[in-house]
Structure 1
Amino acid sequence: MIKTVKVRDYMNREVVTLNPDTHLFSAIDVLLTHRVSGAPVVDAGGHLVGVLSESDCLKGILNEAYFEETCGSVKSIMSQVVETIDADADILEAAAHFVKRGRRRLPVTEQGRLVGQISRRDLLRVLKNYNEHGTPRRR
């Protein structure tokens, strides 16, 4: 049954992350290099402390331009309230979260530490595999 499939079974474990002390333009370079629209921000212990999005970057640049402020570091502009999902949550819980909240991806945590990320596309792959084979195949 698909409800027994866990987020950890399909999450991406190789997530591009940022450090809170990274300078904004270095962070923008990381996003552009890896072709991602945002990245989780983790401290030295691997704990999720925020998320930096393209929108956050634009806000930081606009503040610098309009208010003659220095862009500074990721921690000064990142979103600190982060929606996450636990690695042991079932796939249907993740799907419901995506539908209700309109998110494209969620950081996956275990005891407060970032362990991966799951996207709507990952869930579509699970459902496609389930439909074709009766049981989901792991990646």
Structure 2
Amino acid sequence: MVKNYRGVQMLKPVATDTQRISVRDYMSTRLITFHPEQSIMEVVEKLLANRISGAPVVNSMGELVGVISEGDCLKEVVKGKYHNLPILGGKVEDHMATNVMQIHPDTNVFEAAKMFLEMKIRRFPVQDDHGRLIGQISQKDVMRAVKNLKSENWH
């Protein structure tokens, strides 16, 4: 058995420039939002005009109360066809999803990516510590974040 005369040596951690990137760094902050009282027809027009697939629904105080998507609107289209009604009726509050998963702005984008895969959701509203809607992160935003990273320093 060979013993080293220098004894136990502590390895110094290698200094690495880790990139801590959070949802806050890549979320969209200029959001199109809807109100519960708006008509589904208004939603369809705005989604098409802005080339988006869904958006948060906020109350008069700006608090997140749901999300409305193309899928929610399509359900109304199918229902209208079944009842032979050609127009999209109803209000956002009648068709929006209210059990909405939110994400904190300080969440790491890799954790957000994992959440997207596990939950099969296309977008997460981002809320601050006071519950205010401050943005939205999409799968495309996460991909943009990954593209901007230095591959040797992922964290």
* TM-score (normalised: structure 1): 0.85
Q: Does 1:86 align with 2:100?
A: no
Instruction: Say which of 118, 142, 145 aligns to 1:123.
Output: 142
Task: Say if 1:19 and 1:74, in contact at 8 Å, map to a contact too.
Answer: yes
Task: Say if 1:63 and 1:71, in contact at 8 Å, map to a contact too.
Answer: no
Larger proportion of helix: 1
Larger proportion of strand: 1
Task: Say if 1:39 and 1:53, in contact at 8 Å, map to a contact too.
Answer: yes
Q: 2:21 corresponds to which residue?
A: 5
Query: Rg larger in 1 or in 2?
Result: 2
Q: How does 1:98-113 map to 2 (within 5 A)?
A: 98-110=116-128, 111-113=130-132
Instruction: Say which of 43, 63, 86 aligns to 2:59.
Output: 43
How far apart, in 2, do the equivalents of 1:65 and 1:127 lie? 42
Task: Say if 1:15 and 1:116, in contact at 8 Å, map to a contact too.
Answer: yes
How many residues are paired up?
135
**Identical-residue share of aligned pairs (%):** 40
Q: CA deviation at 1:41?
A: 0.5
Q: 1:26 corresponds to which residue?
A: 42
Gaps in structure 2 of 5+ consecutive residues: 1-17
CA RMSD of aligned residues (A): 2.2
